Chain A
Amino acid sequence: MRFTLNGAAVSLDVVGSRRLLDVLREDLGKTGTKEGCGEGECGACSVLIDGEVVDSCLVAVGQVEGRNVITVEGLAGPRGELSLLQQAFIEHGAAQCGICTPGMLLAAHVLLKKEQRPDADDVREALAGNLCRCTGYTKIIEAVLSCGT
């Protein structure tokens, strides 16, 4: 099967019913995508498929045939320069233990693509599928709001 991962073509021989999460982590070495629950509750395994945020633990890898997948490793620029959102996460203290951060960034990334100037309620709604236990979400919301243009 083939799909695009962070802009690069990927060709794999895998059983299509395996979880996208496992294929990303174990076969493709993209360990930025985390497993927090394995049942679509925590959002730590969030990735983008064709620009929409999904839990990769709920996606059979066969379902991304021909599609465009973005993981946290795909957010920085070609030379590793951090995106504005990634910089904002550091600056505002939005990442503490960091385990929810990859998924949180991807959910926020989609919001900012769709809504150039979200308000706090928009941010809360967009991030409601990503659990964080360190921050109380306050600094994450601040970081995302600071990226509104």
Chain B
Amino acid sequence: MRDVTYLRPGNVRDAVQLYRTTPGCRPLAGGTDLMVMLHAGTLRPAPRAVLDLWSLPELKGVRRANDVLEIGAAEPYTGIIGSRDAQESVPALVAAARTIGAAQIQNRGTLGGNLANASPAGDTLPVLLAYDAVVVTDRRSIPIDEFFVGYRKTALADDELITAVRLPLGRDVVFRKVGTRAAQAISKVVLAVSREPARIAIGSVAEIPLRARRAEVALERNDIAGAVAAVADDIRPIDDVRSTAAYRRQVTQNVLRELLDAFARG
């Protein structure tokens, strides 16, 4: 990693320009994933430069504008957790942010990083799906639904940078993460659910964070039992180091039932 060039652009426009013109360049924000991979030498192809977006003022902040909440792509989770606007309008995202790592990771991890990394276990990603978030880049807006295209693959162009995430206000979303321990854990299963509109989004159960479409259809009909049954067909869990397919299937159903019952009870 000592051969990796460090680039520090002063604004987003310069950043995009550098990203476009520097071969083997990887954007760097809080470094919670990228620095680990850089040091371990596990990135293929091996990066030749990092583009530091961490300090760009344009990528920071939590702002409320009209009917959306806009969160800068490089705003750390701590900033989201501490934002009154976020607490009021997207409490499920705040709840998700609080389950990520512990203080050290929350001080560095960002939504932009979670999105770009596109891990199927990314803790905020099901929440963003349940909110129908919009991923804002240097050139366009991408509905979150169209963002994840494969295992750790996104709809971003090779030289495209995420600048912000927009979330609608006033949507009631609930969130639950099941991990191995109370902090510093990658999820076995993570769910975010909205009742109206019907959104059931799940992480760690397929190659991408996904919307459970069949279950959503049942939920639209107010058929909770149907949604719980259908979700089993929506997911494609596997056995891995963190859990088993059987457990993930069972717990997805159990937690979905619990969350939907909680909605039903108000």
Contacts and interface: CB of A to CB of B under 8 A. Distances in A.
Given A17-B50, A41-B184, A59 B108 contact: yes
B178 to A, nearest CB: 17
Interface stretch (B97-105, B144-152, B156-164, B217-225): B97-105
A53 B31 contact: no
A57 interface: yes
A55 to B, nearest CB: 5
Interface residues of B, number: 31
B38 A17 contact: yes
Nearest to B107: A52
Given A17-B50, A60-B50, A63-B54, A38 B102 contact: no
A13 B183 CA distance: 37
Contact of A17 (B5, B32, B103): B5
A40 B105 contact: yes
Contacts of A39: 36, 39-40
A44 to B, nearest CB: 11
A92 interface: no
A40 B36 contact: yes
Contacts of B105: 40, 55, 129
A6 B38 CA distance: 27
Contacts of A55: 104-105, 108
Given A38-B40, A40-B32, A60-B31, A129 B104 contact: yes
A60 B104 contact: no
Contacts, number: 97
Q: Which of B2, B35, B54 has the most CB of A within 10 A?
A: B35
B78 A17 contact: no
Given A39-B36, A53-B107, A107-B103, A60 B6 contact: yes
A54 interface: yes
A41 B104 CA distance: 9
Contacts of B5: 15, 17
A58 B5 CA distance: 16
A63 B52 contact: yes
Nearest to A67: B55
Interface of A: 15-19, 38-41, 43, 46, 52-55, 57-60, 62-63, 65, 107, 110, 125-131
Shortest 4 CB-CB distances between A and B: which pairs? A16-B6, A129-B102, A128-B183, A128-B102
